[in-house]
Amino acid sequence: MKFSLLLLPGLAIAAPFGSTAEHPIDDAKIFQRLDREVGALAESGKAPLGREERLKQVARRTTTVPKLLPASSNILSKEDLYTRAAASTVLFGTAFKCDKCTRWHSAMASGVIIDPSGIVVTNYHVAGAAKGDAMGVMLSDGTFLAVTEILAADQKQDVAIVRIQTGGKALPALPVRTDLRAGGDILCMSNPDNCAGYLSEGIVARYNRESRPGGNGPVWMQITADFAKGSSGGPILDRSGNVVGIVSSTSSVYYDEPKNGGQPNNLQMVRHNCVPSTAILGLTQEAKPAGR
């Protein structure tokens, strides 16, 4: 979900591409650059986190690493929320090879920075993807940084905490809040289908527990804001810029669903399922739930 901060000689203007007609996002340029960078990292054979080690590390269940910022109670304008979300949201790229050609391909997703030292939250299905020989992220200023470690992950709840290589640079992080109730206003920053920096608005529709044998299914936050494929791991924010969840999946409701297979038709609605922030904190040992 990335778009670049506008940098001018001697000035750093906190106006990301996509925020005005004078500075639109160039989607092709962003995604092509990430594709080249992560492909080159995989081709070099020097990725700090290869596929085999990455798939071992997703078995980690807890970490003490994140140092979370205190949740904010300052209500922001939606323009300021866009700028803040732009700076703290990263675009994930995972390089892999298919069975039909020799070139590197990239799977794109998103994440959000929660610790200035380079700690990012994304989905388990991103961090634990079966394919992928190198993984990296692009920041809002176009900087590419390699993923170096999976700190903790939970497949059932579809959440992972990863570390990226920052070279000692502090990154803009967002606080995490856990007490937003159903009906609360939210915004979603995502990059649906190679469309970078897309901010949508809605409310928390409800929290629900997925039905599973034994009654111990994961809890989801369902929202009314839009997102689509490519948005995985994107942050769900309250009006103060606190992370209250991340994008996970969609489920479609059709009026006509054939019982014996076949194509469903007459789409009625799409449910937007998100990982609640309580699941993010569930992977940490030291971070405390942050209310306002």
Domain ranges of the chain: 16-164, 185-281
The reported pLDDT for the residue numbered 23 is 87
Burial of 76 (0-12, 13-18, 19+ CB in 10 A): middle
Decide if domain 16-164 falls under CATH 2.40.10.10.
yes
C-alpha 123/C-alpha 62 separation (Å) is: 15
* Beta-bridge partner residues of 203: 185
Q: Check if the beta carbon of residue 154 is closer than 8 Å to that of residue 282.
A: yes
The domains spanning 16-164 and 185-281 adopt the same CATH topology? yes
Mean pLDDT within 188-212: 94
CA 281 to each of CA 86, 98, 189: distance values in angstroms, whole numbers, following the listed order: 23, 35, 20
| pLDDT higher than threshold 60 for residue 5 | no
Quote the DSSP letter at residue 102.
S
> Phi-psi bin for 118: left (phi > 0), alpha (psi -120 to 50), beta?
left
Percentage of residues of the chain with pLDDT beyond 90: 80
Question: Mean pLDDT across the stretch 112-132?
Answer: 97
Mean pLDDT of 147-158: 98
DSSP 209-275: EPP-GGG-PPEEEEESS---TT-TTPEEE-TTS-EEEEEEEEEEEEEE--TTSS--EEEEEEEEEEE
**pLDDT score at 291:** 61
Give the tokens for residue 6: 């506008």
Q: How confident is the model at residue 140 (pLDDT cuts 50, 70, 90)?
A: confident
The percentage of residues in the chain with a pLDDT greater than 70, rounded to a whole number, is 93
Partnered with residue 243 across adjacent β-strands are 176, 237
Residues 261, 146: Cα–Cα separation, whole Å:
43
Higher pLDDT, 190 or 11: 190
Q: Which CATH architecture has domain 185-281?
A: Beta Barrel (2.40)
